[in-house]
Structure 1
């Protein structure tokens, strides 16, 4: 099938050609005809499958043909609002269709003025949109089509009550479209409340949930090797763009500064960064000016960046769903990607639980640091570690006991002993555990799992 078969308005079709779209994705092929008919719809598809064009093209077509005048798209994050608005603008610009992203963190004035001047498509975050409706600032904007994009993300971020209130200001005679990667019960209930006799379309199959285009690896390291591990991965992996996930904002700040000090082209992104700086960081990453973006889960929500070749979990995610969302940032639009998770020995069992629940094929791997030596980065890390180390209370006593050893010999032997103890560049240049050790660890975990399950005879007794 090609886009020509949708018989879109000629100016909208021109936007499709300029964008380089050839054949519709599965979600586009399924939902575009339904939306053109004016049906309410629930679409289940992951980010990166072409959802924006799936709902955007029929909306642009209906505006261009004069069937409707205005449309509203509600997204969970400011970054996603900007992305969706930009894509709709580029697809609809030849038809003269104007779009506007509306979100918090910036002044009201320009947003309100543009809406009053007749912008046809508003893409907004729930908080700012609710505020504008509550204050009566945009009473003139009455959309005939409303889209809820990434509804499960809005649920996770606590926006469902805001969404329900927003719909109190919107005309009842409307077409409503809801898109979500997952369908938890609250999202189903929301659809039942807001949509009228909707069509249900899902393109989330077994092959999609298992991320067949993403190679998934994990490395088991000692906790004090985490920085060493990510530095080595960034030095050895062949990447275009890397998205690194940390659990906490302060870890994002520390790691991004640490990597920049080592000469890496890295930036951090989290919720405490002001809006103008956030926009600049995301734009630089999207354009490839920044190749490594370190972010929290919340900050990365809604980001749809092309050519993210690698996702690295600097810290293991809190739950299986977060793991799926994280690694889904790579391996998009038919391209392959690589997802790497760094785990300590204490986190190993938690990763195995995630692997089982997600049904993912994860491969164990070992980080190599070269042929038994240490490089300039390792030397710099060792220097910093020594500078940060406080004197031990017994060090003077130790020095006195080794007074017969010359200083150079003492320093060399002390460093050698420390490197041997910490595997800092030792053991053939290896970080963490080798495959044989990891296999034993995995076998031990699997044996514990088998032993924790009751036998069939015991289960029968329990049922009786």
Structure 2
């Protein structure tokens, strides 16, 4: 495709030798400096679809100013976790080049990020709030940026970041090449693109009538009584062939409770939710990626940006609030051609919510069956051995365990745990 040899060699070392469809379509066009709107479902290679041409152009392009320590490219993402993931992916791809990258997001000290910027940075990946803060303080210069990427634009819209995105867009030169990538394209995103971008080419890596969910993901849906869900979940986690698993809850409190319950049952589990400090969340994610824990309990916002290819199962412990949240959740498995299983436990009070999701996504399961932790159908459908029990071993410590509402990190507060008289 005309990509620099240094980048191709680095990708080869990562085992990446062939492009996904969104990359095959987007990379040659982006290398020419064209504005792009890229659309593909989560897990289908969007990061390198914009990341490879971005790195190539900053590294060796005649129409990008020579590097002088001020950023030439800015990648804006909605969450801290996604910023870390994208930053790591780009750093690996650029490992054979002299490019300097920085990842900037809230929840980390300003000093370390300011120090990195003052030392000279070529590519910045970050979340809107912290990027704006550093720009307004004068620590982040954007006047020489040649490339602007908006990743997961639909999620930024959902999270209310559109005004911040417009501020950042106004801070870069008018000649900037813009690449906007998203799984879906709501009207507000398209309106913003038409107003800001220069004759963008809309690239869609699938047919317009393609299903919203991966065909490689098997979806198992059934009604489950709220009081029986912990027992059902314990059995699901003993299914044959289960590897890394993400369990989604709607609330932070439920995430904490589910993680603690699984820990008491002997499962290796971590938690990621908004009541944890950034340090605790990163510890849990690192443990999940490293395989120290094979179960991650997460809320929707906290889980955005979790990009682990070999997730075999996703469990919706609570029914999501809307169809797109369902798509994002189960999109964490069945990624990049791998097969996966998505299990949804529909509470009796959640049936109406599920039916709206089913209708919108045309899943054909408006009235799921009613199963309990003792139902033979549960064991048969998910290949759970008859020996599955309510516990798998002695109680284990939960990564990220913290009473709901306590956001302190032990590293930041050495006196944590002392009681006052």
TM over 0.5: yes
Deviates more, 1:317-326 or 1:113-122: 113-122
Aligned length in residues: 375
Q: Which has the higher contact order (CA 8 A, sep 6+)?
A: 2
Q: Secondary structure at the match of 1:209?
A: coil
- For 2:33, the equivalent position in structure 1 comes to 38
- For 1:298, the equivalent position in structure 2 comes to 301
- For 1:54, the equivalent position in structure 2 comes to 49
> In the alignment, does 2:258 pair up with 1:255?
yes
- Please state which structure has a larger fraction of its residues in helix: 1
Report the alpha carbon displacement of residue 275 of structure 1 after superposing the two structures with TM: 1.0
Q: Distance in 2 between matches of 1:377 and 1:8?
A: 53
Which residue of 84, 107, 117 maps to 1:82?
Answer: 84
Q: Secondary structure at the match of 1:90?
A: helix
Contact 2:321 2:353 in 1 (8 A): no
Q: TM-score, normalised by structure 1?
A: 0.77
Change (3 A) 1:242 1:110: same
Deviations, residues 360-411 of structure 1 (Å, cap 9, x unaligned): 255758456498999762899xxxxxxxxxxxxxxxxxxxxxxxxxxxxxxx
Q: Distance in 1 between matches of 2:176 and 2:153?
A: 18
- For 1:460, the equivalent position in structure 2 comes to none
- For 2:310, the equivalent position in structure 1 comes to 307
Q: Secondary structure at the match of 1:331?
A: coil
- For 1:97, the equivalent position in structure 2 comes to 99
Report the alpha carbon displacement of residue 30 of structure 1 after superposing the two structures with TM: 0.6
Report the alpha carbon displacement of residue 227 of structure 1 after superposing the two structures with TM: 1.1
Report the alpha carbon displacement of residue 351 of structure 1 after superposing the two structures with TM: 1.9
Report the alpha carbon displacement of residue 352 of structure 1 after superposing the two structures with TM: 2.9
> In the alignment, does 2:390 pair up with 1:377?
yes
Deviates more, 1:247-256 or 1:227-236: 227-236
Q: Secondary structure at the match of 1:158?
A: coil
- For 1:422, the equivalent position in structure 2 comes to none
Deviations, residues 67-98 of structure 1 (Å, cap 9, x unaligned): 32411100001111111111111111101222
Q: Distance in 2 between matches of 1:310 and 1:43?
A: 27
Contact 1:286 1:306 in 2 (8 A): no
Report the alpha carbon displacement of residue 353 of structure 1 after superposing the two structures with TM: 2.8
Q: Secondary structure at the match of 1:61?
A: helix
Contact 2:78 2:156 in 1 (8 A): yes
Superposition misfits of 4+ residues, deviation over 6 angstroms: 370-375
Please report the RMSD computed on the Cα atoms of aligned residues, expressed in angstroms.
2.3
Q: Secondary structure at the match of 1:22?
A: coil
Deviations, residues 2-21 of structure 1 (Å, cap 9, x unaligned): xxxx1221211211211211
Task: List aligned pairs for 1:411-450, cutoff 5 A.
Answer: none
Q: Secondary structure at the match of 2:90?
A: helix
Q: Secondary structure at the match of 2:238?
A: helix
Q: Distance in 1 between matches of 2:34 and 2:20?
A: 20
Q: Distance in 2 between matches of 1:197 and 1:350?
A: 40
Task: List aligned pairs for 1:195-210, cutoff 5 A.
Answer: 195-205=197-207, 206-210=209-213
Report the alpha carbon displacement of residue 208 of structure 1 after superposing the two structures with TM: 4.7
